[in-house]
Every structure is written in structure tokens, then in C-alpha cells.
Structure 1
Amino acid sequence: MSFADLGLSDETLRAVTEAGYTEPTPVQAAAIQPVLMMRDLIAIAQTGTGKTASFVLPMIDILAHGRARARMPRSLILEPTRELAAQVAENFEKYGKYHKLSMALLIGGVQMGDQVAALEKGVDVLIATPGRLMDLFQRGKILLTGCSMLVIDEADRMLDMGFIPDIEEICTKLPTSRQTLLFSATMPPPIKKLADKFLSNPKQIEVARTGSTNASIEQALVSTTSRGKRDTLRGLLRAEDVKTAIIFANRKTTVRELNQSLKRHGFASGEIHGDMEQAQRIAELDRFKAGDINILVASDVAARGLDIKGVSHVFNFDAPWHPDDYVHRIGRTGRAGATGKAFTLITDEDAENIANIEKLTGQTIPRIEGAKAEAPAPREARPARTPREERAPREERTPREERGSGRRDRDRAPRERDRRDASAPQYAAGPEPIAADADANWNGPVPAFLRVSFED
């Protein structure tokens, strides 16, 4: 089957061909025609299957006829993260370049003024995160009564991030006669309840078993230790033919520290995590896409939806806490028919997480040994590093009371020697020899203990 068999317009087909695609993926082949027929749709598909194009392409043709009005978008696409929203916007620009469709991107972290100005002009496609959309709606800057098409993308991710109440409220603001498309990698009970409430007689498609991983991705678990993780990772990066790689860590602090460590060791790396401003995150992604850096250290904010061509490797510096995140992380490689490799660094503490991942995916992931940090040498076995440590053992040294120690001993020694040999000329107080009469210069009676007798 080709894209031409799906009923897309000549203009859309031309843009698809120029983008380098000739055959639709399974989810695109199953979804595009029902969407063009104005059916509600539930699509369950793992990441990296091309599901974004499965709703973007038919939406472009559906919206080609009609006119946008101020503050009343004709269609709405909800995305859980800013990165996903920006990714969908890029797809609309790429595939809709031969159509005169207007688009607005409503995401947090950027100035609201430009977004409001775009809405005032009227847009055909509104791509938004739930938080920013609700903010503008409550300010009276947007009306949803003219929206005839709704897409809820990454619905299970929306659930994880706590956006389901916002989505339910948004759905109540839209016309009941709208067309609704719901895309999700999994179908937990809350998502099924949402679909039953807001979709009308939907067509349901499923192109991959829930929780399955892409067969074109070679996976491995690399045994290491907490102290040896960075050494193991650097060894893998040097041993593998890494063109571009994404390294995932569970915590934002780990992302920052690991990126700095990689740069100190000469790797061209960058970072992306939730504490960064949106402009910074976009700039890092642009550097990665342009090849200025070939390693991107990321938290799970980047795990879903990033469609970057040519990612050859994914490394899980930390084993993910949730098994679903493993599927989404490694799905950044092996996309669009390409092959890829995914390595997960594991320690003894990760046994439960790995068991849950293997249970979800229904496969046993091969294990290999990585570099492990050596235990520190016992104190007595350490090499001498300072002159102090090179001295003779304590039992071979001169006893303290015999050799003296410190300033106190140095100051005391001459006085003790004076008392031992009071007649020694080298200890005289001045340059002149001691007088024969020791009392000659004394102004008073000589104490008995100072009298000198010259008698035998």
C-alpha cells in the first residue's frame, strides 16, 4: 500500500514524497482513511510507529476547506509536554506547506503575548498543552465553540501527569458534534473511561501489543556498580559506533552532573530536563538535531514523542522506575524502519525494576558485564605518598623522652645542660670568660645555692 491509496490530496502527497516517505506505517495505513471519513478513532500504538502523521495528514486535508475566525480555532490538538507540542507543529509545517493553513502553538515557558496575537488573527490548527490552554481560556482569550476536531495525543502520558481533569473540562467546552481522535500507547481503565465518555462510536485500531518493544532495537542490560556507572557508560560510548545517542537518567540533578562529567571527558554532549526554560530546551534540541552535539542527556520529559532522525543508541544511565517508561525511552531509536541499540546500566538494586520491565515487554533482556569500580586498597597496602609515611616504624624510632619533641623540648634543653655542667664556657651569658670570683658583680648577698667552691 502507498500513501496514494489512502485518499490524501495531491498537495499533501507531494509534501509527503518530498519528506522522503513512500509507504505508510501500519498505524498510518489503519488510521488515515477512517479519519478522512470523519470517524472518531481510538488508536493504540507504541512510540516510534508514525502515529503523529496518522492524524496530521488527514487533518490537513480536512481543514483545507474553510476559514478561521478570531479567537475560535477550527481544530485542537492536546499534547502532554512542550516538546511533543513543538514536534507536532513541525509536522504541520512540513506536510502542510502546500496548504494555506494557519497554526498556533500554546505552550508554557514562552511569552503569552505572541500566542494571544496569533489567536486574534484566527487559526486553523491550535496545538496546546492543557495548562496553557486552560489559562488562556479562563482569561477569555480563546473560544472553543468553533472547534470541530479534537486530538488527544499520548493519553496515557496525560494520565501520568494528572491532566485528565483538565481534558474532561476542555471536552465540555467543545461542540458535541466534533470529531475526536485519541492516541495512546496503553489503555488503562481511566483512559478507557475517558474514551467511553467523550468519543462517539469510535473505530479502534491497535498495531502493536501493549507494552511491546520495537523488534528492530537491539537491547542489553549492562551489569555494573553505583560507583562504576560513569566508567561503564564512557566505555560503552567509546566501544560502540555512536552517531547520535540519548542518555536517560531518573533525576534532573543526575542529568546535569552526568552532562558535565561527559564534557570533562571530551564528549560533545548537552542536556534537557524540566528545570530548564523552554527556550533553553528548544536550543539544546536544535543543537542536537543540527549535529553540534551528538549526545543528549535527558530526563523523562524528553522520553516521549521526540522524533529525531538517526538516533543510533539509547542509554539508560538509570533503570526507569516505571516499566512503561522503558518502552518509551528506547523507542527514541530504531524509528521509521531503522535499527538501533539500547543499553540499560543496572546494579543489584535494580532487580525489581528490571523484573517489571521484562514482565511488561514479555521478553528476557540479554545481560552483559560492564566495568565495575574497584574497592579501595586496604590502608596498610597503600603505597607511600608522603615523606612522613616513609619514616621508620614507630617502634624503631628514638623514644620521645630521649629525642625531645616540639618547641617545648627545644627551649628546655640548654637549661638542663647548664645545670649538668655549670662551668662549661660555651654556655656563658656573654662573650667574656667567667670571672674567677663568681660573686664579683653581685650587689647583694649570694644565696647559698649559687656559691661556688674552689676547694677539692
Structure 2
Amino acid sequence: MSFLPLGLSDELLSAVADSGYTEPTDIQRGAIPLILMGRDVVGVAQTGTGKTASFVLPMIDILAQGRSRAMMPRSLIIAPTRELAMQVAENFEKYGKNHKLNMALLIGGVGFAEQNKLLEKGVDVLIATPGRLLDQFERGKILLSGVDILVIDEADRMLDMGFIPDVEKICGLLGRKRQTLLFSATMAPPIKKLADQFMESPKRIEVARQSSTNENIEQHLVEVAPRSKRTQLKKLLATPDLKSAIVFCNRKKDIKDLVTSLKQDGFRAGQIHGDMEQRDRMAMMEAFKSDEVNVLVASDVAARGLDIKGVSHIFNFDVPFNAEDYVHRIGRTGRAGAKGKSYTFATKSDAELVADIEKLTKQRIPRLGETGNDPQGQADSAAQDTSPADDKPKRTRRPRSEKTNAPEPLEASAKQSAPKARAEPKPEPKSRAKSHARPGPKSESGSDRTAARRTRDDAPYDEAPLAEDAKAEWNGPVPDFLSR
């Protein structure tokens, strides 16, 4: 199915075609006609399914009719992070190139002067994070009563970041007659409550649950020793099919060290994380998109909402602490029908985190090195844990009847071997026991003592002391020749 039956204008279809898209995704097929009809819509879709375009495209055609007014935006899109807001703005610029729409972006880290200038002129599309939007409203720089279309993007992320009260406050500032669109990867009770409170008979479109992973992504689990992570990463980054990659770390402090190491080995690496200034983050994203940098090391600040065309590989340098973040991270590749690969480095201490991911996604992540699963033999040795514990024989799997519904954890670490019972000491030979006692003439003969001495395996007795001992123990009568 093409975009033609969805009811979009010719100008918009031309912009979509210029972007290289020929077929709409499932969420786009379901949402676009309803939005064009003016219905409230709840879209439940995982990241990477094209949901941003599912509301941007029909909004462009709707807003093509009408005029903007000073300080009163005609539409409002609320995003939880600066990166997501910027991503939405890029979509409007890309698909709205044949339309004359004014757009403003209200995000932190950017000066107020330019934003105030745009708002005073009047905008058709206002894209904002909750905090900066409320700040500008309290300063009297913006009026929200004229908003005709409200979009709440990534509502589940809003919930995670504690923004739901801010969103409720913003909704209360808007006029009653408006079209409301809400998009989320999950429908937790607080999100459902938000929809029930501020939406009118919304039509729900659910495409894929957040726990599912994109079938276009070839997943790998790399069992590795902690000290071998960097070596393994560099080998996989050198594979011929890699075009551009995002490497995710759990801790911001690890990102700088990893980038430095990659640069020393000749990789075109860059970094993005929450401690960077906004202008530096924007500059890094531009460098990544222009292929000046092709390996981007990132914290989870970049896991959601980034729609960068051509990312071929995702690397989880650390297993994410939350299983849901795994789905969001690897969703940066395999987008818009393209193929992608993901590699997750797991140490023995990560067994529980891996098990949580496999339980959520309801699938076992194939281990690197399994049959047909080793890309050109690039990591045949580093994929194995080189610690001494690897020399231990692996336990066999439990029978199917004994297995629970939980996914199989990391084999090398989740199965703990029972401690071995200490072997009972062998009884010492009787001859050795006898040799430790000092024999006397009343107990055994000289020949027996000699035989007992020869059974010792440490050192022979000294003959002279034994002779003295024997004489000292003589209790018989003294011979005459000794008493003279």
C-alpha cells in the first residue's frame, strides 16, 4: 500500500517521496486518516515504527489552512526531552518543505531571545518540553488558549521522568475545543487516566507492544570478560558491513574513556550524554548525521526518539539496567524497513539483567559464536570469557520438563555449580603409624624397628640416637665387665 490512499495532499506526497519513503508503516496507515478527520487518537506503538510521521504528516495538511497569530500557537507538541523535540522539528522541516508553516522550538539550553522573537511573530507549530513551555507561559510570552491540535509524544517517557503533573497542568491551560493526539509505547494506568481526562472518545490504534523487538534487527549476545569488552568492541566495529553505529554505556563517566580509546585506534568516534551543553550535543548529532563521526558513544539520553537514517549497528557496551531500555536502544537501527544488527556485551555478573530482557521480549538472544552466528569469524576468540573459570566444564541443560517459563539466562553465569564435597582423607598405613612411635625392646625386636623405619616416606631415622635410646632403656643386671 502506498501513501496515496491515506488522503494526503500532492505537495505532501511529493515531500514524502523525496525523503525516500514509498509505503506507510502500520501506525501511519491507522492514524493518518483518523487525524485528517479530526478524531482524537491514542497511538500505542514501539519506537522505530514511524509514529512521529504518523502525526506530523496529517498536521501539515491541516495547518496549511489558516493563519498564525502573535503569541498564540495553532498547534502544540509536547516531548519529554530536548532530543525528541528536535527530532519532531526535523520531521516538520523535512515533510513541510512545500508548505509555508512557521515553527518554534522551546527547549532548555537555548537562549530566550530567539524563542521570544518567534513567538511574538506567531507560529503554526510549537514544539516544546514541559518545563520550558511552562516557564515561557509564566513569563507571559505565550498564550495557549488558541491551540487547535495538541500532541503528547512519548507519554510513557513523560511518566518515567515525572512529567505527568506538568502535562496535566498544560492541558488545563488549553481551550476545550481541540483535537488531542497521544502516543506512547505502553498504556500504564496513569497514562490511561490522562487520556480519559483530557481526550474525547479517542480512537485507539495499537500496532506493536513495547516488549517486542523489531524483526529487522539481527540480535547477538556477546559473552565476554569485563577486561575484554573494548577489544571485542573494536573487532566488531571493524567489520566490513558497518556503516555507522551507536554504542550505549550505562554510566556517563565511562563514555569519555571509551571514546578516547576508540580514537587512539583510529575510529571516527564521538560522544553524547546529558552533561554536555546543548549546543555541543547538537553539533555532535550533526557530525554523526554527516558521517564526519560514524561511531557515536551515548548514554540513554539518546536511546529514545533519535531517527537517524542509516545506523547499521547498535552496541550495548553495558547491559541496560531496565529491560525496556534494551528495546529502545536497539530500536535505533532497523528503521523504516532497513536491516540492522545489535550486539550486547554481557559478563557473568549480567546474567540476571539478560534474563529480564529475554523474559520481557519472550525470546532468547542468540549467543555470538553459535552455529551460523559468527560474523566472518571476527570475534571467535574474544567472545569467550578468558578467565580461569572458563576451564571448568559446563553443566548440561535441565530436561525440558524441569524448565520454567522464564527464558534461559546467561549460561556461563546464571547456573551456579554446587560446591564440591571435600574428599575424606585416606587412612594412614599402619606401618607408618607405628614408625612415629619410639619403639622399645619390650614391644618389638630390632628387625621390626628397622622394617618400620623403612616405611616412612619423609626421612630415615638416625641410627645413632636409636642405639643410645636403646641402651638408656636397658633394665637388666649390669655385666661384670662394665662394673669394673
TM-score, normalised to structure 2, is 0.76
SS in 2 for 1:343: strand
Q: CA contact under 8 A between 1:76 and 1:149: conserved in structure 2?
A: yes
Please say which structure displays the higher CA radius of gyration. Answer: 1
Q: CA contact under 8 A between 1:222 and 1:346: conserved in structure 2?
A: yes
| Cα distance in 2, alignment partners of residues 290 and 240 from structure 1 | 20
> Aligned ranges for residues 370-409 of structure 1 at < 5 Å?
370=383, 372=385
> Which structure 2 residue ranges, 5 or more long, are not aligned?
370-382, 389-484
Letter in 1 for 2:132: R
> Aligned ranges for residues 266-415 of structure 1 at < 5 Å?
266-368=266-368, 370=383, 372=385
> Closer, same or farther in 2 for the Cα pair 1:334/1:204, shift >3 Å?
same
Query: 1:60-86, CA deviations, whole angstroms, 9 ceiling, x for partnerless residues?
Result: 011111111111100000111111111
SS in 2 for 1:368: coil
Identity rate of aligned residues, in percent?
A: 67
Q: CA contact under 8 A between 1:227 and 1:372: conserved in structure 2?
A: no
How far residue 372 of structure 1 moved from its aligned partner, in angstroms, is 4.1
How far residue 368 of structure 1 moved from its aligned partner, in angstroms, is 2.5
How far residue 190 of structure 1 moved from its aligned partner, in angstroms, is 1.4
Number of residue-to-residue matches in the alignment: 375
Q: Are positions 1:254 and 2:254 aligned together?
A: yes
For 2:50, the equivalent position in structure 1 comes to: 50
SS in 1 for 2:301: helix
| Cα distance in 1, alignment partners of residues 203 and 387 from structure 2 | 58
SS in 2 for 1:215: coil
Letter in 1 for 2:159: L
Q: CA contact under 8 A between 1:223 and 1:367: conserved in structure 2?
A: yes
> Aligned ranges for residues 184-223 of structure 1 at < 5 Å?
184-223=184-223
> Closer, same or farther in 2 for the Cα pair 1:321/1:240, shift >3 Å?
farther
| Cα distance in 2, alignment partners of residues 319 and 117 from structure 1 | 44
Q: CA contact under 8 A between 1:231 and 1:371: conserved in structure 2?
A: no
Q: CA RMSD in A?
A: 1.2
How far residue 350 of structure 1 moved from its aligned partner, in angstroms, is 1.1
For 2:22, the equivalent position in structure 1 comes to: 22
Query: 1:316-368, CA deviations, whole angstroms, 9 ceiling, x for partnerless residues?
Result: 00101111110010000001111110000001111111111111111111113
How far residue 196 of structure 1 moved from its aligned partner, in angstroms, is 1.3
SS in 1 for 2:238: helix
For 1:78, the equivalent position in structure 2 comes to: 78
Q: Are positions 1:41 and 2:55 aligned together?
A: no
> Aligned ranges for residues 99-110 of structure 1 at < 5 Å?
99-110=99-110
SS in 2 for 1:175: coil
> Aligned ranges for residues 238-249 of structure 1 at < 5 Å?
238-239=238-239, 241-249=241-249
Letter in 2 for 1:320: P
| Cα distance in 2, alignment partners of residues 246 and 331 from structure 1 | 11
Q: CA contact under 8 A between 2:314 and 2:332: conserved in structure 1?
A: yes
For 1:395, the equivalent position in structure 2 comes to: none
Letter in 1 for 2:45: A
Letter in 2 for 1:345: F
30-39 or 10-19, which moves further after superposition?
Answer: 10-19
SS in 2 for 1:315: strand
Q: CA contact under 8 A between 1:45 and 1:184: conserved in structure 2?
A: yes
43-52 or 364-373, which moves further after superposition?
Answer: 364-373
How far residue 240 of structure 1 moved from its aligned partner, in angstroms, is 5.6
How far residue 43 of structure 1 moved from its aligned partner, in angstroms, is 0.5
Query: 1:351-408, CA deviations, whole angstroms, 9 ceiling, x for partnerless residues?
Result: 1111111111111111136154667xxxxxxxxxxxxxxxxxxxxxxxxxxxxxxxxx
Q: Are positions 1:96 and 2:96 aligned together?
A: yes
| Cα distance in 2, alignment partners of residues 340 and 333 from structure 1 | 5
For 1:135, the equivalent position in structure 2 comes to: 135
| Cα distance in 1, alignment partners of residues 292 and 225 from structure 2 | 32
Letter in 2 for 1:69: R
| Cα distance in 2, alignment partners of residues 255 and 176 from structure 1 | 46
Letter in 1 for 2:341: K
Q: Are positions 1:3 and 2:14 aligned together?
A: no
Letter in 2 for 1:175: G
| Cα distance in 2, alignment partners of residues 333 and 240 from structure 1 | 17
For 2:401, the equivalent position in structure 1 comes to: none
282-291 or 15-24, which moves further after superposition?
Answer: 15-24
How far residue 207 of structure 1 moved from its aligned partner, in angstroms, is 1.0
SS in 2 for 1:271: strand
How far residue 283 of structure 1 moved from its aligned partner, in angstroms, is 0.5
How far residue 2 of structure 1 moved from its aligned partner, in angstroms, is 1.6
How far residue 239 of structure 1 moved from its aligned partner, in angstroms, is 3.7
> Closer, same or farther in 2 for the Cα pair 1:374/1:264, shift >3 Å?
farther
> Closer, same or farther in 2 for the Cα pair 1:180/1:72, shift >3 Å?
same
| Cα distance in 1, alignment partners of residues 211 and 162 from structure 2 | 21
How far residue 130 of structure 1 moved from its aligned partner, in angstroms, is 0.7
Q: CA contact under 8 A between 1:156 and 1:191: conserved in structure 2?
A: yes
TM-score, normalised to structure 1, is 0.81
Q: Are positions 1:147 and 2:151 aligned together?
A: no
| Cα distance in 2, alignment partners of residues 268 and 257 from structure 1 | 15
SS in 1 for 2:220: strand
Letter in 2 for 1:257: D
For 1:231, the equivalent position in structure 2 comes to: 231
Query: 1:283-304, CA deviations, whole angstroms, 9 ceiling, x for partnerless residues?
Result: 1111111011110000000001
115-124 or 90-99, which moves further after superposition?
Answer: 90-99
Q: Are positions 1:118 and 2:135 aligned together?
A: no
Letter in 2 for 1:340: G
Query: 1:137-164, CA deviations, whole angstroms, 9 ceiling, x for partnerless residues?
Result: 1111111000011000111111111111
- Runs of 4+ in structure 1 deviating by more than 3 angstroms, as ranges, are 371-375
Letter in 2 for 1:344: T
How far residue 176 of structure 1 moved from its aligned partner, in angstroms, is 1.5
For 1:166, the equivalent position in structure 2 comes to: 166
Query: 1:83-116, CA deviations, whole angstroms, 9 ceiling, x for partnerless residues?
Result: 1111111111111111111000001111111001
| Cα distance in 2, alignment partners of residues 373 and 79 from structure 1 | 45
| Cα distance in 2, alignment partners of residues 62 and 321 from structure 1 | 42
| Cα distance in 2, alignment partners of residues 360 and 371 from structure 1 | 26
| Cα distance in 2, alignment partners of residues 175 and 61 from structure 1 | 22
How far residue 210 of structure 1 moved from its aligned partner, in angstroms, is 3.3
| Cα distance in 2, alignment partners of residues 258 and 80 from structure 1 | 28
Q: CA contact under 8 A between 2:15 and 2:95: conserved in structure 1?
A: yes
